[in-house]
Chains A and B, each alone.
Chain A
C-alpha cells in the first residue's frame, strides 16, 4: 500500500512540481481591498521554463513574492492551493516552509546591485545560504562556494571570495546572485527580471547561463519579465498578466503566432520589431489601471479596441483547454479579429 502511494507521489512530482490555484494577494482594507494579484492559477513542471509576462503593476513580481512567503503583514496571501511537490506551502508549519524555501525553491531578484548586502563579502553571503540549509565544515563550505562561483562562470573564483559587492560589475553581481540561488541545488528557480538591469551583451551571457543551468540540472524555471522577445527565445510556456489577473496562457510559439487576448495582441503590436517598416506603432490608449481606477467588468475594457457592452459589465472567466486559456468574452481568431457572438453560436 505504502509503495503504491509512493509511486503515485513520484508520478505526481514529475507532473506538477509547482501548482498554484487561485492565488490572491490583497492589500488595504478588508472591505475594499486592492487586489495586487487576483485569483491566478498556474503550474510548473520539472525541467520546464515558464515565462510570466506583464507590464509594471501587473502583479507578476508580487505573485512570486507570495510564493516565496515574502509578503509581510499588511498584505494578505490567499490561495486554494500553493503546492510544491504535493505539499501545500500555505498550510505547512512556518519552520518546515522555511527549510523548503531557499533550498528547494529559490529566487533571483531584479537588481543585483541592491540585492547583495554591501557590508559582507561574496563568500560570506553565499555561505550564509549554505549554512541555513545544512551547513558543513568550514573547508567543505569554502570549496562548495568556489565550485558554485566556477559554475556560474566567474573567472578566478578563489580571488573573488573576499570581494565586496561594490567591487563587482552588474553582470558579476548577478552571477553571484545566481550562485546563491543554486547553492542548495533547488528544483524550482524563480527569476524576477534577472537581466533588466544589465546591458544586452551581458544579458545574453546571463540568459545563456540560466538556461544551461536549467537544462543540466533539470530545473523548473519561472522567468518573470516585461521583455516579450526575451521570453519568446527562452520559455516553453507563457503566462500573460494584466492588472493582477492572468489573461492568457499557452505554449510560447502559439501565443506569439496567434495571440487570443486583445492585451497580448496589443503588447506584441507595440513592439517596434512587430510593426517593422510601419510608420507608427500600434498602441493601446491609456495606462494599466491603478488602485483607485479599476473599472467594472473586464479590466482591459476601457483600453480595448474590441470592447463591447458585455465587457464593460461582466468580467470574463479564464476559459479554454488547460494548455491554452484566455480571459476574454470575445477571444481573437487566427486573423487577429474578435470572434463576435462566440457565446451564442457554438463553433
Chain B
C-alpha cells in the first residue's frame, strides 16, 4: 500500500490506455464483404490519481465506446489498459476482479440505470455481496454511510428508485459506483440528463468526493461548459480518434485543431465577451462505416488541404499539447525557429 501511494505521489498514472481500439464487424449485405466500424481507433492517455480527464466530442465520436472499454463492458479489439502498470485488459478472473473493484462507472440516464424492482439498499449492497465477504450488518453499515456521503437520508434506504427525482437517482448511481472504494470513476454523460440547478448540485458532489477520496475521473461529456469547470486534462475525439489532447488551459485557452475550434465556437455563451466568432461546420458527422479517406474530419474542415484526404495525420506534440492536424503542423512548423 505504501509503495502504491509513493508511486502515485511520484506521478505514476493510476490508469493508462495504450492505443486502445474497438472495432465492430458489420454485415455488408448479401454476398458483400463484411465492413468494419472503427468505433474506437487508437486512443491513448494516462490518468493521474485525483485528476479528471474529460473526453469531449459529438455523438458517434466513440466516447461512450471508450467508457465501455475502460470498464471492460466490452473488451478492446487491440491495445492495453494498465491499472497501476498492470494490464487489466487480459481475460483473467483475478484481473477482472481487480478491475471491477478499482474502475467503476456512472451511466447517463439515471432512469434506466437503476433496477426498478430493487430497493436502494439492495442496489448499494449488491457490489459488496458479490465482491466482498462482509456480512449483512457490515454491508448495511457501509451502504448507509455511503448514502449519507452522497447526501441522501437514511430513510431512503428501503425505498424504490421510482420514488426519487433525477438528481437523487444520479446520487444513488454515484453511491453505487463508490461502494467498492474504486480509484477511478468513469462518468458517461453523468449530468447531461439533469436540470441546470440539479446539475450544479451533482457536480459539486462529484468534486467533493474527488477531494475527499482522491478519486480519478474519466468524465465523458458533450457539454463544454461543464468540462471547462471540472477537467484537468481534455481529450477531443472525432470519429473514433483523438484529434487534440492536452491540459484544460491549453485546449480552452488556445484551441489549435480546427474541430476543437469549431466545437468551442459553436457552444452558446452567456457572456458576450466570451463568444467566439462562429466557425460554421458544413454537413454532419460522416458515416463511421464509410469514413472519408485521410483525416476523418477533412470532409467538414474549413482548413482542408490536399494532403488531408490522402494521409491520416498522427497525434503529435505541438504547441504544448497533442494535435493531429496537418494545417496546425504547417502553422507551427513555419513559426518555429
- A residues neighboring B (CB under 8 Å): 55-56, 169-172, 199-205, 208, 226-230, 232-233, 256, 266-276, 279-285, 287-288
Q: Could you give, for residues 257-279 of chain B, a 1 whenever the CB lies within 8 Å of some chain A CB and a 0 otherwise?
A: 00000110111111100110010
Contact assessment for A233 and B280 in the assembled complex, using a CB-CB cutoff below 8 Å: no
Which of B16-24, B27-35, B200-208, B239-247 faces chain A? B200-208
Contact assessment for A226 and B195 in the assembled complex, using a CB-CB cutoff below 8 Å: yes
Write out the residue numbers on chain B whose beta carbons fall within 8 Å of the beta carbon of A279. 207
- Smallest beta-carbon distance B43→chain A, Å: 20
Contact assessment for A287 and B198 in the assembled complex, using a CB-CB cutoff below 8 Å: yes
Give 30 CB contacts A-B under 8 Å.
A55-B198, A169-B284, A169-B285, A170-B59, A171-B284, A199-B58, A199-B222, A200-B224, A201-B263, A202-B284, A203-B266, A203-B268, A204-B281, A228-B270, A229-B268, A229-B270, A233-B268, A266-B197, A267-B197, A270-B197, A271-B200, A271-B225, A271-B270, A273-B269, A273-B270, A280-B204, A280-B207, A283-B198, A284-B197, A287-B167
Q: Which 3 A-B pairs have the closest CB atoms?
A: A272-B229, A283-B200, A270-B200
- Smallest beta-carbon distance B253→chain A, Å: 12
- Smallest beta-carbon distance A227→chain B, Å: 7
- Does B96 make an interface contact (CB < 8 A)? no
Report which residue of B207, B228, B229, B281 has the largest number of chain A beta carbons within 10 angstroms of its beta carbon: B229
Write out the residue numbers on chain B whose beta carbons fall within 8 Å of the beta carbon of A228. 196, 270
Write out the residue numbers on chain B whose beta carbons fall within 8 Å of the beta carbon of A282. 200
Contact residue range for chain B? Answer: 35 or more
Contact assessment for B270 and A232 in the assembled complex, using a CB-CB cutoff below 8 Å: yes
Considering only CB atoms, which chain A residue lies closest to B267 in the complex? A200
Contact assessment for B269 and A287 in the assembled complex, using a CB-CB cutoff below 8 Å: no
Contact assessment for B262 and A201 in the assembled complex, using a CB-CB cutoff below 8 Å: yes
> Whole-angstrom distance between the alpha carbons of A272 and B274 in the complex?
13
Given A199-B58, A200-B224, 11 more pairs with CB closer than 8 A: A55-B197, A171-B284, A199-B222, A204-B265, A204-B281, A227-B268, A230-B268, A273-B228, A274-B270, A283-B200, A285-B201
> Whole-angstrom distance between the alpha carbons of A56 and B193 in the complex?
10
Contact assessment for B196 and A270 in the assembled complex, using a CB-CB cutoff below 8 Å: yes
